[in-house]
Amino acid sequence: MLKTDLPQLTAYRTTLAEAGKKLFLSWVLYSLGIVVAVILSYYLIPVPASGIMVALLLLLALFIPAIRNRLRPLWVQGVAKRAFAQQNSMLYLESSKPNYKKHFQPAVAKLGFFERNEQIVKGELGGLPFEMYAHTFRQLFARRYGRKVIQVYSVKLPKELPHIFMRNRQAGSKHLSSLPRHFDDDQRVSLEGNFDTFFTVYTHRRTITEALSLLSPNVMEALVRSNTKFDIEIIGTRLYLYSDNYLTTAHELDEALRSLINVAETFEHRLKSWRFVLPNNQHYPYLVSRPGFGTVALGHTYFNQAWLLIIWYTLYSALKITAKPELWPVKVGLVIFFDALMITVLLVLRRRYQLSKRNVGR
């Protein structure tokens, strides 16, 4: 039986409000500093457009890490989490690079570039090892500029479980899902009752039987009752809850911790009479994401056409080089470089596509 005592949130609530006021004041002072600097430079520096130049320099100061971190809204949450960790005798870390085991990478891993776990709090929740952090990353062609943030809440379960991902579909959620992660449809499992209206469940082909036995009707009912707007993932001995809130209020943190401990308690009751055993010499069967549009297009659909394009480019370049033999050393080097680059990209995308389809049936 898990301990149902939740961590105290008094320090988090008060510190969040105070840090929010400090952030607002910092932006006001920074804006006033820009205005004053522009006015003074206009009168003191006898250079045309000097005010604009000074304003641009001050705006570029936002790219200095110390200033940028102090002025971004996520700083407020970091201050509040530090106070939360101190009040509940937990460990607080400012940031660290994600470090997951090869076959036990959660769904937040490798979602983009420059990944980082920030504002990490480690301790115990309900008697289980607990960890929460903000997973930040950047994505190409994202609608919103800046680092995308996924709030992660995790506990370590006493037994190893199959890889199961439950995507939240409740109408009351802000979004249908917290993660920009898409799994192959042939890993999707349909469960009895109306559970599919609340969650879309994914598991590996080889663990469908285990997943169905684990997600009994009582467990499904408890999951629907205890979880409102979080995606749930089980991988190995770890239970994860995901939220896409950029900033977490005290009420949202309380809701997340309650949901996490309720879901963990639900599975702990089930684990008393349940065991997951892998056959000898078999890797842990993990879920595989659906390959992206570029991987499918160049690695599969238009793979042959891309090869023909490379061949056509090489022949066309060869004809141009023969027309001007005096430039052939430079031109040949450029053609070889671009050919090697395009062939490498094409083969990498082909390999990624093949691995994504092959791993589904592992």
The model's pLDDT over 192-216, given as tens digits with 9 standing for 90+, comes to 778 888 888 888 888 888 888 888 8
Mean pLDDT of 144-164: 83
pLDDT, position 215: 84
pLDDT at 173 exceeding the cut of 50: no
What pLDDT was estimated at residue 84? Answer: 92
Tell which wins on pLDDT, 100 or 62: 100
Task: Please state whether 43 falls in left (phi above 0), alpha (psi between -120 and 50) or beta.
Answer: alpha
Predicted local distance difference test score (pLDDT) of residue 196: 81
Residue 170 has pLDDT above 50, yes or no: yes
Per cent of the chain over pLDDT 90 is 9
**Statement: residue 46 has pLDDT above 70:** no
- The pLDDT of residue 64 is 64
Highest mean pLDDT among 24-28, 99-103, 142-146, 192-196: 24-28
Choose between 60 and 193: higher pLDDT: 193
Query: What pLDDT was estimated at residue 108?
Result: 85
Query: 358 pLDDT exceeds 80?
Result: no
CA 53/CA 64 separation, integer angstroms: 18
Q: Report the mean per-residue pLDDT for the chain.
A: 78
pLDDT at 67: 66
Backbone angles phi, psi at 274, to 5 degrees: -140, 140
Q: Global pTM?
A: 0.76
User: Quick one: average pLDDT of 96-112?
Assistant: 80
pLDDT surpasses 90 at 91: yes
Of 8-22, 211-225, 248-262, 275-289, the poorest mean pLDDT is in 275-289
Given this model, what pLDDT does residue 154 score? Answer: 92
